[in-house]
Chain A
């Protein structure tokens, strides 16, 4: 047993974050820990890494009972953590980043680069991490940075690695590379504890999966005999909602017409290349594609925050190509941005101010040049109620809400305007299963109300379940259109990589 947690309980004032956690991780395996956001995964990992102390229960590493009072203790016991958000200094080299804080020295003063470089090469080779110690971190891609993080932990002598949602920032190819690395680590006898809520990934790489729900471990299952659906049901503890849309509400009345839209990237290459599509009243058009193929730029061009280099956008009867973002948003385009923290919310402003955001010029938020606080607040109360935003009030800061509740607020806000188009970019990314179902319901409702919906998502089940049509985007071009009624996620996946071109 590499790690053994028995009866671990952690309380925060008023909240039990973890209770009666039992977790047994075999040495030399990849063990996955899955659960909804807020189920208590992160707290558990912080306990294991010495960032939090448990109130009850015991932790044993390699059979020995331990008590960590800070991460230093955990590292000394051979437990290392790779954080979800990389902690690397861009302006330093890989070598400097890796040794930072535990530098080998010559004569006790100078950094001994030669020893460090040799160690890093040795670790990199023995686990096939393929990391060059002398490159600048700023020049590395996301996948490489993650390998540097892993190397950093190994350099400090960790035998047990905790990876906190390591795939959240990776594109599919990088995920495959990461999993190869994890198998390599396992082959060398290391133990990997892998936190995720992407079930198919977990099933493909883990040797054992422990499900955590409402702060406690509910089951440990063998991935070979478990389906993603069964896992998900363990996670939510209930029958899983499905994204299927039901009856078609598509009409022939065009709402949003995109004709030859082209956006140039910084390298002079078109990142959105001659894209054309029409969305009708009551229709959901899904855009499928590997991330980074122009989806983000397409959305930004539609909303008007990225300049367009060619083509025409029409909303109902208006040519909106020259309209400002404000005019577009008050003129009928609702926008659920991909990165809600950067583009959708003012995190350190109260909820009611976030209700005004993006709709500053519209009733009930303002009258002429004045913000109507009373009306805006009242309307925020309504949104909180109708969209089931779980919050103690409308004066709490947006940052205090969970991702799912933030997203419900954004969706409620956008649906509260008189819009004819809803642009939803990864609407359920990073939200828990409960909020996901609610957001799907709201998108379905939008479609029933006769909105034209553009749905961009990396979740293929979501795309297939909600869309009336799916267009595949590859290197900025729409290369194929598929019928969600007949396509499978596998077929769609291969179309996204260009392999299945024309398969539809």
Chain B
């Protein structure tokens, strides 16, 4: 048994890696064609992306973006593992960040507690907002795709509405935002990258912890087993005693709780208030990265880093007169082709496994059959 198991794992690892690598190669090819079409130099463009991305300052920026992307993708992945498509991460984190920023800016608490309260508020708001979609699905059968899209729109309205109620002008601009969080509620940066003038978000370790928690909860607990079973076959999960309605709400709440964290690195580590220019759209990036990373905590980390790297290094293209949209094209192609590649690999693996099992069994039974 062991003998049969070991080579299989290597094989499946290779197959697992094949899909994203193929997708990236295909994306590069397509981007090159676009570059050629636009009359831009292909190789020097890639050289620019590579060189610029490797500067210490860029690396800090990549880590910062990746932290945010990672949390967002993790939130989406929790839903995916149960077969729920939480498109609402975007609305969830914006509403959560705004509320948390307002609470954090209003309260004065000792350091440590202050940050904790802000984060907990964000988690609670994110969980509540996503939980609404979960409740709607469990009680009324409303598709979570529809309800989360709607809730995104409502969140946008709510954020705008409350911001007008509580906002103060941001100094030196015509921007408005919540009152800045006091020194006691901020999270200092980490000097992780040698030679970089920028520090990395102090929230990065939290993202890593979230990834580990995701892995442990989904892979090692009964709750995670039920969640994955429901994602694989709802009918079989019901027959196995999973209360799917309860699981739907629980999963959405968990997904939303993680979504609540998405705004935190920026809020606690850089802007200290929620203003009109607070980053938006991170929830959608999270969907792409969750797909890219196969809902696997390590895969998502690589996906987030790649995405952030492309984002950050695209800045140099404008300066050098190459359209930076080439990077968006690459990102889009990677996601599309990775989805296709995964499906192809999945089918291949299924067929391969069936063949392998049939072969091993026919070998095992053929010798005694001859004797008999």
Contact = CB atoms under 8 A, between A and B. Distances in A.
Interface of A: 12-16, 303-305, 324-330, 335, 337, 342-349, 353, 356-361, 366, 369-371, 373, 381, 390-397, 399-401
Given A342-B235, A342-B236, A344-B236, A391 B357 contact: yes
Contact of B239 (A14, A335, A395, A401): A335
Given A357-B229, A392-B4, A369 B222 contact: yes
Nearest to A384: B1
A332 to B, nearest CB: 13
Contacts of A349: 228-229, 232
B240 A357 contact: yes
Given A356-B225, A369-B223, A393-B4, A344 B358 contact: no
A324 B238 CA distance: 10
Interface in B349-366: 350, 353-365
Interface residues of B, number: 38
Contacts of A370: 220-222
User: Which of A335, A337, A366, A369 counts the most chain B CB atoms within 10 A?
Assistant: A369
Contact of A326 (B242, B354, B357): B242
B236 A400 contact: no
Given A12-B358, A358-B241, A373 B5 contact: no
A331 to B, nearest CB: 10
B8 interface: yes
A347 B223 CA distance: 20
Contact of B222 (A343, A348, A361, A397): A361
B239 A381 contact: no
A14 B243 CA distance: 44
Contacts of A360: 222, 225-226, 240-241
B236 A325 contact: no
Q: Which 4 A-B pairs have the closest CB atoms?
A: A326-B241, A14-B359, A358-B240, A343-B239
Given A347-B233, A400-B350, 15 more contacts: A13-B355, A305-B239, A325-B240, A328-B241, A342-B233, A342-B235, A349-B228, A359-B240, A373-B220, A390-B364, A390-B365, A392-B357, A392-B360, A393-B1, A399-B350
A371 B236 contact: no
Given A371-B220, A392-B361, A358 B226 contact: no
B350 A12 contact: no
Nearest to B353: A400
B359 A13 contact: yes
B88 to A, nearest CB: 27
16 contacts: A12-B355, A12-B358, A13-B359, A14-B358, A16-B362, A326-B240, A344-B239, A345-B236, A360-B222, A370-B220, A371-B221, A371-B222, A390-B364, A391-B361, A392-B360, A396-B357
Given A15-B362, A345-B236, A394-B1, A366 B355 contact: no
Contacts, number: 121
A358 B222 CA distance: 11
Contacts of B357: 391-392, 396, 400-401
A13 B354 CA distance: 11
A65 B354 CA distance: 33
A14 B239 CA distance: 37
Contacts of B228: 349
Given A371-B220, A392-B4, A343 B225 contact: no
Contacts of B224: 371
Interface in B113-163: none
A346 B232 contact: yes
A344 B365 CA distance: 27
Contacts of B223: 369
Contacts of B358: 12, 14-15
A14 B363 contact: yes
A343 B236 contact: yes
Nearest to B233: A346
B241 A329 contact: yes
Nearest to B365: A390
Interface string B1-28: 1001100110000000000000000000
Nearest to A348: B232
Q: Which one of B4, B236, B350, B364 has the highest number of Cβ atoms from chain A below 10 Å of its Cβ?
A: B236
B361 A397 contact: no
Interface in B208-249: 220-226, 228-229, 232-233, 235-236, 238-243
Nearest to A14: B359
B281 to A, nearest CB: 33
Contacts of B226: 360
A175 to B, nearest CB: 27
Nearest to B354: A400
Contact of B238 (A325, A359, A361, A373): A325
Nearest to A326: B241
Given A15-B362, A399-B354, A303 B220 contact: no
Contacts of B232: 346-349
A305 B243 CA distance: 10
Contacts of B241: 304, 324-330, 358, 360-361
Contact of B1 (A373, A381, A397): A381
A365 to B, nearest CB: 8
A344 B220 CA distance: 22
Contacts of B1: 381, 392-394
A338 to B, nearest CB: 10
Q: Which of B229, B238, B240, B365 has the most CB of A within 10 A?
A: B240
B4 to A, nearest CB: 5
Interface in B326-372: 350, 353-365
Contacts of A390: 361, 364-365
